Structure 1
Amino acid sequence: LTAGRKQTELESLLGYFVNPLALRINVSGNPTFRELQSRVRSVVLDALAHEEVPFGEILRQIQFKQDPSRNPIFQIIFSQQPRLADIPPGWSLVTEEISNGGSKVDLVIVVDDRGEEISGPITYNPDLFQESTITRMVGHWETLLKAVCVNIDQPVARLPILTEAERNQILFEWNATHADYPNNICLHELIETQAEQTPDAEAVIYNEQRLTYRQLNARANQLAHRLRELGAGPEVLIGICMERSIEMVVALLGALKAGAAYLPLDPEYPKERLRIILDDSHPIVLLTQQRLLTQLLPCDLKVIALDSEWNQIASQSSSNPTRLAGPDNVAYAIYTSGSTGRPKGVLNIHRGIVNRLIWMQDAYSLTPDDRVLQKTPYSFDVSVWEFFWPLISGAALVIAKPGGHKDPDYLLALIQREKVTTTHFVPSMLQVFLEVDGREACHNLKRVICSGEALPYEVQKRFFARLQAELHNLYGPTEAAVDVTYWQCRPDSGDPIVPIGRPIANVQIYLHDENLQPVPIGVAGQLHIGGVALARGYLNRPELTAEKFIPDPFSAQPGRRLYKTWDLARYRADGNIEYLGRIDDQVKIRGFRIELGEIEAVLHEHPLVREARVVVHEDISGDRRLAAYIVCAEKADSGLQQLREYLSDKLPNYMVPAIIKLEKLPLTANGKLDRRALPPPELSKKQDTPVEETRDGSRDAVEQVLAEVWTEVLGIQEIGNYDNFFDLGGHSLTAIQVVARVKTRLGLQIKPRQLAFQTLAQLAAVCKEQLHPNEVS
């Protein structure tokens, strides 16, 4: 601010002549403080040379569009009062600040240089700042100035701003998570101990099948002995390609008891993806089921169908095998999406998952009366605690049928029938489940655990309005034994962001800037994970492991590491953490972790594609969809259906995007993709479809109902009879909504899979056949 009194005749005139000078300071290149000081001086002097230009005239010249919610151009004012003349001896000067109760901008800082001290008021917008935040900012400023006094030639990004008290609180007090858990035990040994304590209690429930702890332990032992004959042992992978079943549980536990690690292979994955995983991981044997043998790729592996070949395995000893693996050996390997176009395998060790499960039992205390639902596909790490937490606690494991995790009506019936007390949902699936009729009858449901993606406040609010159960929000990547932070949601909370909470036992969480300096409370930083939960790294990817798992600069123990998550988060004043999003191109959609670069790499392998970019499109309801924008090769004359089929052969269903063909990708002035110029996925629905086929013409009653349902679920007004639901941007969860609404309006039970392979007209024909079977020739 300038006084605006350069003219002599204005010096003694009463009135407000202050003129604001907007300053733009260049801090690029990480200059030293001395260099930054020089830059600031140049900017200020240049601004003072034009101080008589009224601020309003500047706004007029640049044709600034007024926004009533904020001050134009700048939102922070810094004013340094002119230094007063010396005060005569015996006199003192006291400044009395008068507040008008508000601020015209977000933050006003006035400093008064009194020679031996600098003081002054700070006025702030209470909608944006709390008093404690301003107090911390003053402390940061003091810390910064003290550091500059010591060495003015430090790079700005390296200058500390945290006070010693705040630094100690963030780095150590909030990470004081030590718990004296067993540190020389393996996962399967916890289950063996439980089997000895409650041998006749129900351990596993699947449809009408039941296994006691004694029976489960015996069967897993028999399989383990057979696997050892085939070479199983520490650091050896056992491939498991099965549908959810009793055999799956026996296979997982048997692989661990053999001293090996299990490698889940989802039978719904495309064969090409399974081939890539098998070629990279080299398991010594593949455990499967008879009905899946024809779906498997030809390979040199020893293949065992547990269901049809069990009589041979049953001849093995049912006693616990001798110990081979230790706590630092691999327990399981899970493949996740990879940015290079190939999935990467994460190796998690016994020590990390044992710590995670013991913490979970300490935190939530399952009893023998509890029943935990297992419904997450076992190629995702949430399944690990679903399988094994109940089995180390004496509770019962209830297994959903194959595909059951996609059907909210089935899940509701299963929860009620089997008296399930604990279950997991990704937030997007929880939102669908909360719309199912009869959910209020889940009286036995005591706790729901959410993870896999950010939990929206509205879903939390709806949950407490419709279910009488606890809701817990957990966070963690595959690289850190499932979950590393926890938060119990509160029905009376009005916070717009649901926190992910604090670190679990024996885990540390750090929020850093790009120079690995801890960020203050309320400031966004990259989330790093330390402690016992960390995975060993990536299978056959030492360079990537070294890049993502870095030395821990805050630990006194040699060899300790941090995992760089590339997630953005910030501390609240109470020490709890809020998740803010991603730094890179990795996304989570409906709980699935997806590297956009992997989809782009697969697209570029196809001869039809010259350029491709994949983005996440979010509609007004918050639903997120993958969209691929492609520019076709010059001589490409085939349609997009071939490309869709190609992607379906290469990628899991949850990674197949809607495809939009463009003449060219829109770019910004600096050559980057202009995301705002990209058309939403639904605008591509008529591409590659003959004009005459897009006209609805006359529709019968069934076609009209289906079109209305698709419109409601997808938010698209124009639905053609030859449109495909998934091509319009539909996905597994919206397909579930369609199934539910068709059942309500037509009384018909269709399957989500039908929406993937049939047009609206074809689906209508199937529905009419169910409604009027005698009228169909």
Structure 2
Amino acid sequence: FVAPRNPTEMRLAAIWAEVLHLDSVSVTDDFFSLGGHSLLATQVVSRVRKAFDVELPLRALFEAPTVAALAARVDAVGRGDLSLQRPPLVAVPRTGPIPLSFAQQRLWFLDRLQPGSPFYNIPSAILLHGGLNLAALERAIQELVQRHEALRTSFHDQADGEAVQHIHPRVEMSVPVTDLEGVPEATRETEALRLAQLEAQKPFDLSQAPLLRASVLRLSEQRHILLVTVHHIVSDGWSNGILTREVGELYGAFSQGRPSPLAPLELQYADYAAWQRGWLRDEALSQQVSWWRGQLSGAPHALELPTDRPRPPVQTANGGTLAIDLGAQLTAELRALCLREGVTPFMALLSAFQVLLARYSGQDDIVVGSPIANRQRSEIEGIVGFFVNTLALRARLTEKMTFRELLAQVKETTLGAYTHQDVPFEKLVDELKPERDLSRSPLFQVMFALQNTGRSVGPQEDGDAGVLQPMQVDSGTAKFDLSLLCGDYGDDIGGLLEFNTDLFDRGTAERMGKHLVSLLKSAVNNPGQSLWRLPLLDEQERHQFLVSWNDTSRESHAVTTMHGPFEAQV
């Protein structure tokens, strides 16, 4: 352990300890070997901005991954090498019409095209262990809606055709309960999942607040499922983590007769929307778009994966999901590779996924979409709203490229995209004007995501250390042809392969999942191997292809006449 030696190192070490949830940090410790990843690196950069009044690119933490090295960078910036490029984010008055953010504007437009669609519902199911205090839960949900303006916001047309958001002073919430104790125990869980899926598919009317629903399924006296559905226009994946955590804290406090333990919020999503509209224009927008224009110039219009059925003329949203699990051993091997190569698990998994797509499609130029939290400022980390942005990450695979070389390329591409993540995807599509095809989404048709937010734990009634256990709800939709949606839970990485059921059979998705795991095992164990020689087949498939399907021997019968073989064939 090497203690901080100057004020810059002291402040940086304190920031690292806060972000990584450690008691202390040595100035020689590597950020990523301590458990850091891109999302936590973004939080470090936002705190550095606030503490030192300097602007560091995310790349700086990858290039200087120790407190000592980063402190030298910060001191250099402090001498005037870089300057702040963005205006401060401050609260705006609520006296006039409040604009939508760019992302909200796109969802508003899509909702007008397909009103009543559940396509952008975000469903959550949380298993509650222990007795349920319904009054405390309803009060917690009500407090949550009052705390976050986005949850009591509705959206309306103005006379000029522009949409505005209206924040209601208060909306009343109720949490209805459906009792399933009368359902036979053998089918109770199945019925609960069916009801959860029905709830997930109920549409919202964006002109009616709140754009959040909550209900409870009672399985037994000690087991309940809390269903929460929110529209994407006011929330995102990070926000769902906030909602789960805060409802747990509020429920625990209200169950024990205590007041809310949550500190008031200084900013709300409407403040962010106004800030984004204010600075991301003219030269600031042009600089950001210019990088993306160069990055995506000449990218293919479509990823031509082999499908089980012809592609419908208009893109559909019918979907299914398939579980993917790397297991503890492969996860540990993946982490070891990442530390050796100076990349994150996100970059390594994205590389493997892009190789799989290249091998299936026969293309060597692959563009994959990936959501990014887009919370680059510490002031907005605790706000519920639609902050998430989407990045188009391109990989160009050459004939002799190894997996190690692809990792280096993906790292550079990803860090560049992080630096230019401020351009909303909707704005990027408007600026680049890609060839439009109603049967496909623009720029990419396949998505990859890795959630690093961990598992959600919250207090229960009577102070029990019970778990608010998130459950997977299959909404029956797919926004893209394929989506690999992973979660990093520490000891293991797992998740879902979401596929469009109008294109792919479940059996095809299952093979893709198996091939991805096989490819990743080979790449982790031999990153110097050619991308095109990394095996996709596991031992069972290899035996089937090479042995079982080639076992074509037949018993031979002696023939004594010239016409005998013809007669036998007939």
Asked whether the two chains share a fold, i.e. TM above 0.5, the reply is no
Q: TM-score, normalised on structure 2?
A: 0.32
Higher relative contact order (CA 8 A, sep 6+): 2
Q: TM-score, normalised on structure 1?
A: 0.24
Q: Work out which of the two has the higher radius of gyration on C-alpha atoms and give 1 or 2.
A: 1
